[in-house]
Structure 1
Amino acid sequence: MRRGTFRDETVDYAAVGATQAPDLMQYPPERSIPAEESWRIGSGESRFKTAGEALLSWTAQRAAGLTLSDVRPASGPMYSGVSFDEEGHPVAPSRLEAEQRFDSDGTPFVGAGTTVHMHGRVRGMKIDGELRVIYVVEEARRIGFALGTVGGSVVSGEESFLLDWYANDEVWFTVRAFDAPTALAYKMIPALTRRRRRELFKGYLRAISPLYSTPT
């Protein structure tokens, strides 16, 4: 499979693309803690496209309290990266990136192979590390991407963000992740990893869902 020519950094975990595995929650990568949440965020094409634009311009990460810096797109032609079907078989990239897009402050949109530094605090927990965009999906009814750790984070692993516009017109936002603790405190207290993940999920949902604060 052809890829862009990325920078020398490599991710610091082995199970690249495993957020797409259908059995992630039952069989996560060794020593990692899996997590998955799905939320209905509305319905219709307009909701899907608006949420997709927000997702690919890093809105979920920023609204979760994270700051992006040193965003470095892959050099050369960019492809959507590794992708798998429901049985775990690799499939062709979903889209060739014809040209780089930018948000209103000049930050490049999400692109396969992009490397970014993220830092901040979520409920007192430090977020600081280098991340790589593992794959990007832009299809008629599915938009999303995955981020993998390159180094410097308190955990090692991957998280994916996917929007699906289903045949019944509902739009759903799904976040999946697996985290292997690397910092000593997180290794000693696994609950810290789970708490960190829960708080990040809440921030991502606030960013993407207009229904988040609506009473049920």
Structure 2
Amino acid sequence: MDVTYAEVGATREGPLPAGYLHVTRRVRLTAGFAAAAEALARWRPQHGAGLRVRTDAERAGLGVEFASGIGAGPLRLWVPCKIVWIVDEPDRYGFGFGTLPGHVETGEEAFLLSTDAEGHVWFDVRAFSRPAKWWVKLGAPVARLLQAKVTDRYTAAMQSL
């Protein structure tokens, strides 16, 4: 299935594309790089943010499709995504995932771990998005607050390792 936006890979490096809401967050982790990479590959940010994850893949990988669910029981909203890029290097690990048809937003989000010269481990979240549904556009201020809260939870989940 194809993603719903043209700027595939734009969360990997460089400026985020114009015409979207941008989210960037960078936090230092206390966990070692290997442990953080393993947690990231196994959906720790999503689970730590209180989201459910539906996928046939145990680990993140290029082309893996998954859906994140927010809410509870029959009120849970599932949003489909696909991993569009991955980096797996000795000092960098992460991936970017894009929205698929049926998602309430259009855009891409990325999680990237890196180490600096002092050996500190950093977790970056980069995203660009805009509403894909009329009711999300109507509730844009609430959607932005929800996105900020989920991003805070992503970073807290990784910091709690």
Larger Rg: 1
Give deviations 1:117-176, integer Å, cap 9, x for gaps: 221229xx9642111001111101001001101122221110000011111111110000
For the pair 1:187 / 2:137, whether they are aligned, the reply is yes
Give the superposition deviation at 1:196.
Answer: 2.1
CA distance in 2, matches of 1:193, 1:206: 20
Q: Report if the CA contact (8 A) 1:66-1:127 is conserved.
A: no
> Any idea what SS the aligned residue of 1:167 has?
coil
Which amino acid is 1:34 matched to? H
Identify the match of residue 163 of structure 1 among 102, 113, 119: 113
Of 24, 36, 56, which residue of structure 2 is paired with 1:36? 24
Preserved CA contact (<8 Å) 2:54 2:66: yes
The one of 80, 89, 95 equivalent to 1:139 is 89
CA distance in 2 between counterparts of 1:140 and 1:21 reads 18
Specify the SS of the correspondent of 1:145. Answer: strand
* TM-aligned CA deviation for residue 188 of structure 1: 2.5
Aligned to 2:158: 208
Which structure 2 residues correspond to residues 21-60 of structure 1 after superposition, within 5 A? 21-24=13-16, 28-30=17-19, 32-42=20-30, 47-60=32-45
Aligned length: 159
TM-score (norm 1): 0.68
Aligned to 1:117: 67
TM-score calculated relative to the size of structure 2: 0.89
Match of 1:20 in 2: 12
Q: Which 4+ runs in 1 deviate beyond 3 A? A: none
Aligned residues of 2:12 and 2:96 also touching (Cα < 8 A): no
> Which residue in 1 is equivalent to 2:122?
172
Q: Please report the RMSD computed on the Cα atoms of aligned residues, expressed in angstroms.
A: 2.0
Structure 2's unaligned 5+ residue stretches are none
The structure with the largest helix share of the pair is: 2
Letter in 2 for 1:181: P
